């Protein structure tokens, strides 16, 4: 026997049951039934159960794995429509677009605010060291995606090719063969 893990369907039916017990509790008070206080307790329990099922439904989204994406760190998030991720300076130009796409899927949340624009902007940056003791943040690209839809096929990905030229050819500590 296979069980579905569709918590939103369970939440809907639990909400229907909560409403039914609420109506029974109200009728119990109107007609002075002996079990009216038990019905209030059942209604309260069903309400808690419904909220719990709803919360579980929010937590079980499937993660999408984009081939070619590398590990990144979230370094800034205003909780609304702007985020910044950081990657290693050893990133290759072929890894930038899949990593931006992966971050756009991972960072999406239905609770984000648009603040005037219905787009989530994810910027990618790295830190290079052109001289000893000097750190320079370098933005490599950005992606703009919809805040209203989890599945956005119209993501606008922009790679900053002029900044890609500033990436170091060889990382310190690497040995050429």
What span, in angstroms and rounded, lies between the C-alpha atoms of 94 and 82?
A: 24
Among 12-26, 74-88, 100-114, 124-138, where is mean pLDDT lowest?
Answer: 100-114
Q: List all residues 6 or more positions away from 175 whose beta carbon is below 8 Å from its beta carbon.
A: none
In which residue are the tokens 């070619």 written?
68
Contacts of 107 (CB under 8 A, 6+ apart): 74, 77, 83, 85, 120, 122
Sorted by where each begins, the domain ranges of the chain are 7-59, 73-164
Token readout for 155 is: 């993501």
- Residue 160's alpha-carbon distances to 75, 93, 143, in angstroms, are 19, 10, 11
Task: Tell me the mean pLDDT in the region 7-36.
Answer: 95
| pLDDT for position 18 | 98
Mean pLDDT rounded to a whole number for the chain: 87
Higher confidence at residue 148 or residue 66?
A: 66
118 has a pLDDT exceeding 60: yes
> Does 175 score more than 50 pLDDT?
no
């Amino acid at each position: 026997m296979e069980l579905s893990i569709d918590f939103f369907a369970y939440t809907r039916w639990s909400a229907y049951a909560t409403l039914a017990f609420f109506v029974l509790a109200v009728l119990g008070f109107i007609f002075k039934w002996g079990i009216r206080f038990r019905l209030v307790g059942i209604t309260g329990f069903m309400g808690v159960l419904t909220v719990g099922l709803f919360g579980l439904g929010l937590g079980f989204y499937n993660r999408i794995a984009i081939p070619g994406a590398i590990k990144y760190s979230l370094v800034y998030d205003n909780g609304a429509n702007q985020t910044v991720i950081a990657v290693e300076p050893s990133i290759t130009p072929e890894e930038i677009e899949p990593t931006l796409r992966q971050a756009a899927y991972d960072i999406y949340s239905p609770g984000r605010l648009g603040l005037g624009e219905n787009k989530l902007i994810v910027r990618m940056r790295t830190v290079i060291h052109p001289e000893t003791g000097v750190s320079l943040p370098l933005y490599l690209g950005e992606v703009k995606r919809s805040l209203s839809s989890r599945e956005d096929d119209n993501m606008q990905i922009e790679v900053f090719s002029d900044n890609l030229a500033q990436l170091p050819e060889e990382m310190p500590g690497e040995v050429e063969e």
